[in-house]
A and B are shown apart, each in its own frame.
Chain A
């Protein structure tokens, strides 16, 4: 099948991904001529909408780019502004921001592993059908997800679009007893995360290996979340404000989201697999132990279907670190420090659940944002996804169409693409000619 003629795969609406996209693949004589992840999510023009706003308003607005990872948007923005304004936050504020991010990683990773991705490996169309045969598995996943959401609610009022992050700190810091009350649910989440690693490591992944270029933050003393340097498997090493020195954006006709490429024009991959490979030495000891038990580090690097193992290892890290932060927490006297805005360029990158999220704002003399560029992880991963589709597709061409399509969809879900994230920035990275 497929030899000597055009063969077209089309999945018009990708499911179990966040947002709206489709997959188009054209193969001629066994050679993949087109592999397009078409993103048709309607653009919402966020970079235009933050113009004229104060930094604190921007933090609220950019959260709305994504209902799954609003904290990531708040974090990249707040760090960018604090870097420009020269603000040193209280060490407990810094720790609590890591805790907030842990909550989002737990919620997002548990959602993806149990509700979106595991059904692929086990042959079910959704977690609801999966629960009919494996109810405990799904309820465990939901409990994990809930523990992350609960953490977010205590720190920010609600799990989706929390309200407490502001330049200089938080609008409110939790009482110690509010955090220690989370211990039982987090202790259970840690146990469930450790079990998750073993479960997903045992899932059979389609055989597919390649040599990807991986990119993530890396920090000497901690697993990458809010801070560190941008590094890659091929030697990039930059401040988190300097993303543009190694990477750039390109427009493709089939997508409402700009793509990104390295300086050589080639793709790169962000996310849990990249972080686990580049920063495995900074994983929490319990996460390191879980990863070692699987022996999967090399297959995580080479096989995209194994990202589910990386995500599970990061679940262990996020729950274990959350517990450590809570145990060491002392409520500071003031939840935030005063500051004076300065004009200039505010830029920073943090690690969203799906990978490096870069923000850049031009702040005017009036202290308001004059221009913005936001580069979400999924838009950066588009080229990597397409490269993997082109590499992998020939191996499934002889399967029945439905099976081949399923394998390719499963491959796309391996990147946990967040399409609503990827699509809001088209307007601003493209500028008026002249």
Chain B
């Protein structure tokens, strides 16, 4: 499918033909919505500061709750969807939105791969619901968090945790010009070579997911002296099983002693923000590297449940100036030891 051409055609169908103004294309109606996520990918839209107002001029942003109080239920020419589907309500909502959207574009690791929250299993979730909540009915969530494509058809995706601002602009520009977006599908390794970044596997013996991960981040982790942790997910045809085996045996990224790594540690390396994708999850499952989710002791007794009316501020504090002086006296001077 050619995403850009379809979007362009979608906008073209909105020409004001009734008045003979065949050239007057209206601006594409764009919506931005979120499900279970950190808001970071939709924030990336606001982070392209140099282009933000230009984008707002070229597109009619009709739904973007984080940024505007204007609300719309659609229809959308382009709908950008952040987050994984994690509750029964969200499963219903994404189906409704799909019907309203000509093009549905999923953005970020949560929407494309389920995100870190997708690592929970159905069994763990049921254990939570049965044993953890004093009032489980207050909280509704699906057994697992899943990518949007598990529920509805997806027309395009931007990967990353978070997405790349450059790729976002590339996608939007391609939509307005009717060409295909140029999104890389190479390994992070190629990005390192292009940027002249020394290989952290070879030079430092660090485990790195670069050989099996799609680039898009600019290889920032190796550039900052650490191994890639897979934000953009597996690249196509990545031999994850073979690479994981090389990390275990020490053929890749041998430790200081020249030996390999604990398979559990290697499995955990693959259990990150795109760890629910099949190529990564299969490694983790085979190496038992995903930590079990345990029910844990917490700070104190279970929180009490309040049902009363609204809280009040209570009596006015008696000595507003007192704590400053007291704190200054007892506060540490500089770096804590």
B196 within 8 A of A: no
Least CB separation from B34: chain A residue: A20
B113 to chain A, nearest CB (A): 13
Give the residue among A45, A60, A372, A373 with the most B Cβ atoms within 10 A. Answer: A45
Mark A123-145 against chain B: 1 for CB-CB distance below 8 A, else 0.
00111110100010011001101
Contacts A161-B40, A387-B311, A433-B134 known; A126 to B224 CB distance under 8 Å? Answer: no
A234 within 8 A of B: yes
A42 near B36 with CB under 8 A, answer yes
Contacts A111-B46, A160-B40, A218-B324 known; A249 to B303 CB distance under 8 Å? Answer: yes
A229 to B328, CA, bound (A): 9
B67 near A51 with CB under 8 A, answer no
- Tell me the chain A residues, 198-226 only, with Cβ under 8 Å from chain B: 210-213, 218-221
A94 to B333, CA, bound (A): 13
Give the residue among B87, B132, B323 with the most A Cβ atoms within 10 A. Answer: B323
A186 within 8 A of B: no
B53 near A131 with CB under 8 A, answer yes
Stretch of A63-71, A311-319, A324-332 with 4 or more beta carbons under 8 angstroms from chain B: A63-71
A295 to B293, CA, bound (A): 52
B134 near A49 with CB under 8 A, answer no
A186 to B196, CA, bound (A): 29
Contacts A157-B220, A229-B331, A390-B311 known; A142 to B52 CB distance under 8 Å? Answer: yes
Contacts A51-B291, A126-B67, A128-B68 known; A163 to B220 CB distance under 8 Å? Answer: yes
B68 near A218 with CB under 8 A, answer no
Contacts A213-B313, A234-B323 known; A67 to B162 CB distance under 8 Å? Answer: yes
A156 to chain B, nearest CB (A): 7
B41 to chain A, nearest CB (A): 7
A44 near B332 with CB under 8 A, answer no
Contacting residues, chain B, for A36 (C-beta < 8 A): 310
A13 near B303 with CB under 8 A, answer no
B291 near A44 with CB under 8 A, answer no
A119 to B220, CA, bound (A): 36
A412 to B49, CA, bound (A): 26
Contacts A127-B67, A387-B312 known; A370 to B294 CB distance under 8 Å? Answer: yes
B292 within 8 A of A: yes
Contacting residues, chain B, for A335 (C-beta < 8 A): 225
Contacts A66-B38, A68-B43, A370-B294 known; A427 to B326 CB distance under 8 Å? Answer: no
B328 to chain A, nearest CB (A): 5
Stretch of A188-196, A252-260, A283-291 with 4 or more beta carbons under 8 angstroms from chain B: A252-260
B296 near A51 with CB under 8 A, answer yes
B310 near A32 with CB under 8 A, answer yes
Least CB separation from B318: chain A residue: A234
B241 within 8 A of A: no
Contacts A66-B38, A125-B69, A427-B132 known; A235 to B319 CB distance under 8 Å? Answer: yes
Contacting residues, chain A, for B225 (C-beta < 8 A): 171-172, 335
A94 to B61, CA, bound (A): 42
Contacts A48-B128, A244-B299 known; A18 to B39 CB distance under 8 Å? Answer: yes
A267 near B68 with CB under 8 A, answer no
Give the residue among B320, B330, B333 with the most A Cβ atoms within 10 A. Answer: B320
B313 near A163 with CB under 8 A, answer no
A34 near B310 with CB under 8 A, answer yes
Mark A12-39 against chain B: 1 for CB-CB distance below 8 A, else 0.
0111111110000000000011111000
A398 within 8 A of B: no
B182 within 8 A of A: no
Contacting residues, chain B, for A67 (C-beta < 8 A): 37-43, 162
B336 within 8 A of A: yes
Contacts A67-B41, A256-B139, A281-B324 known; A115 to B229 CB distance under 8 Å? Answer: no
A227 near B134 with CB under 8 A, answer no
Contacting residues, chain A, for B43 (C-beta < 8 A): 18, 67-68, 111, 160
A221 to B335, CA, bound (A): 10
Mark A343-362 against chain B: 1 for CB-CB distance below 8 A, else 0.
00000000000000000101
Least CB separation from B301: chain A residue: A431
A250 to B299, CA, bound (A): 12
A391 within 8 A of B: yes
Interface of B is mostly: loop
A232 within 8 A of B: yes
A253 near B68 with CB under 8 A, answer no
B297 within 8 A of A: yes
A374 to chain B, nearest CB (A): 11
B300 near A371 with CB under 8 A, answer no
A387 to B313, CA, bound (A): 6
B257 within 8 A of A: no
- Tell me the chain B residues, 118-140 only, with Cβ under 8 Å from chain A: 119-120, 124, 128, 131-135, 138-139
Give the residue among A89, A164, A391 with the most B Cβ atoms within 10 A. Answer: A164
Contacting residues, chain B, for A143 (C-beta < 8 A): 49
Contacting residues, chain A, for B323 (C-beta < 8 A): 218, 231-237, 278
Chain A to chain B contacts (Cβ below 8 Å), 5 pairs? A45-B128, A231-B327, A244-B300, A249-B303, A251-B305
Interface residues of A (CB under 8 A from B): 13-20, 32-36, 41-49, 51-53, 57, 60-61, 64-68, 70, 83, 86, 88-89, 91, 94, 111, 115-116, 119, 125-129, 131, 135, 138-139, 142-143, 145-146, 149, 156-161, 163-164, 166, 170-172, 210-213, 218-221, 227-229, 231-237, 244, 248-253, 256, 258-259, 261, 264, 266-267, 278-279, 281, 335, 360, 362, 368, 370-373, 383-384, 386-387, 389-391, 409, 420, 426-433
- State the 7 A-B residue pairs at the shortest beta-carbon distance, nearest first: A67-B40, A52-B291, A126-B68, A157-B220, A371-B296, A390-B310, A35-B310
Q: A66-B38, A157-B218 are in contact. List 10 more A-B contacts (CB 8 A).
A: A18-B43, A48-B124, A67-B42, A68-B39, A70-B38, A146-B50, A158-B220, A228-B332, A278-B323, A390-B312
Interface residues of B (CB under 8 A from A): 34-44, 46-47, 49-50, 52-53, 56, 61, 64-71, 86-87, 90, 115-117, 119-120, 124, 128, 131-135, 138-139, 141, 145, 161-162, 217-218, 220-221, 223-226, 229, 231, 268, 272-273, 291-307, 309-314, 316-320, 322-324, 326-328, 330-337
